[in-house]
A = this chain, B = another copy of it.
Amino acid sequence: MADEFARIARLKQRFESGARAGALVGIGDDAAVLATGAENLVLSVDTNQEGVHFERRFGPLSVLSARAFSAAISDLAAMGAAARCALTALTLPAQLSESDFDALVDGLARAAGEYSCPIVGGNLAAGPALSITTTVVGSVSGTGLSRAGARAGHRIYVTGALGSAALGLALLQRMAADRGPAFVARWLEPRARLAEGQQLLGIASAAIDVSDGALQDLEHLCRASGVGAEIDAAALPLAEGFVELARSIALDPLALALSGGEDYELLYTVPEHAPPGPGTCIGRVTPNPGRLVVLDPQQQPIAIATRGYRHFSG
């Protein structure tokens, strides 16, 4: 059976060089110590739980752990923040092997490197299933991108394409990853939009990342801003081959694009005559609080069956 302190020593060794760069005191003391400057700090935490957010069979542990890290970083992107450092709390089942543990750590170290977001501390605990809880610390001037600044008439944009990750997940769940490896990669290896988020500071009136599903995340943004929204179905950015592949496994491409989560793209609003930022315009903000409408090319409302994934829902 693995020893907790031996594992901590290995974590320290694996994460240390990065941790030194990001913190005055890194892994191995009671807490990490971080120098602060003129900017404000941005804090967020995200849990990725085996059996809920991922299955081990979906990919190598190094990829799944890097994915968990990206999901946490995405919240910094949605604030327009720069990444500073991270803490990693791992819950590990007793049967996790040392090579599995190493793979988990490799993925975290790689992701931390790619986002220039050193892991400066964390926690190891035993538990019934694998879970990865990542606390991310970023910095921003001012208060960053809020969800609450959208006003009637503002345009709604989204980076990248919608629904790709959900289509990839559907393929993984159907054991059909080989039918769309590019979509599977979009689920397994999302890239948090850190650079785009920072680019949106001073441009976007409101922003959120697409984690629960575009329509549901837009609903969060609209609720925070006290507005409504109209989405043009035909304007939704979809990856090449998305529609055909979705239909081939009996999924509605539109529902998937609007409700499939975990794209980790940025959904944001921009005043009418402001520069649009890096995204695609998919609709506009309306004055009706809480009213979200999806329109077909004839400007007729389309009923959408589901609004994304909710934990705990019956």
Q: A44-B31, A45-B133, A91-B47 are in contact. Are A4 and B78 (CB under 8 A)?
A: no
Give the residue of B48, B51, B53, B125 whose beta carbon is less than 8 angstroms from that of A128: B51
> Which B residues lie within 8 Å of A91 (CB)?
47, 49, 131
> Which B residues lie within 8 Å of A87 (CB)?
43-45, 135
Q: A51-B128, A128-B51, A131-B127 are in contact. Are A138 and B31 (CB under 8 A)?
A: yes
Give the residue of B47, B145, B312 whose beta carbon is less than 8 angstroms from that of A4: B312
> Which B residues lie within 8 Å of A129 (CB)?
127-128
> Which B residues lie within 8 Å of A178 (CB)?
none
Contact with B along A22-62 (1 / 0, CB 8 A): 01110011111111110111111111110111000000000
Is A75 on the interface with B (CB-CB < 8 A)?
Answer: yes
Q: Return A91 CB to nearest CB of chain B, in Å.
A: 6
Q: Return A250 CB to nearest CB of chain B, in Å.
A: 27
Q: A49-B126, A143-B33 are in contact. Are A28 and B133 (CB under 8 A)?
A: no
Is A109 on the interface with B (CB-CB < 8 A)?
Answer: no
Q: Provide the bound-state CA to CA distance between A143 and B47, in Å.
A: 29
> Which B residues lie within 8 Å of A209 (CB)?
30
Whether the pair A1, B89 counts as a contact (CB closer than 8 A) is no
Is A313 on the interface with B (CB-CB < 8 A)?
Answer: yes
Q: Provide the bound-state CA to CA distance between A51 and B135, in Å.
A: 24
Whether the pair B313, A127 counts as a contact (CB closer than 8 A) is no
Is A3 on the interface with B (CB-CB < 8 A)?
Answer: yes
Give the residue of B41, B51, B75, B121 whose beta carbon is less than 8 angstroms from that of A44: B121
> Which B residues lie within 8 Å of A47 (CB)?
89, 91, 123, 125, 127, 133
For residue A29, which residue of chain B has the nearest CB?
B147
Whether the pair A126, B312 counts as a contact (CB closer than 8 A) is yes
Whether the pair A30, B75 counts as a contact (CB closer than 8 A) is yes
Besides A30-B44, A33-B41, 20 more A-B contacts (Cβ < 8 Å) are: A4-B313, A24-B40, A25-B146, A29-B147, A30-B76, A31-B43, A31-B44, A31-B136, A31-B144, A36-B40, A43-B85, A43-B137, A49-B91, A51-B127, A52-B125, A53-B125, A94-B312, A125-B311, A127-B131, A135-B135
8 closest A-B pairs (Cβ-Cβ)?
Answer: A1-B314, A36-B36, A31-B44, A30-B78, A47-B125, A34-B41, A135-B135, A30-B75
14 A-B Cβ contacts within 8 A?
Answer: A1-B313, A4-B311, A5-B310, A25-B144, A30-B78, A30-B147, A31-B42, A36-B36, A43-B85, A43-B87, A45-B123, A48-B125, A125-B131, A133-B133
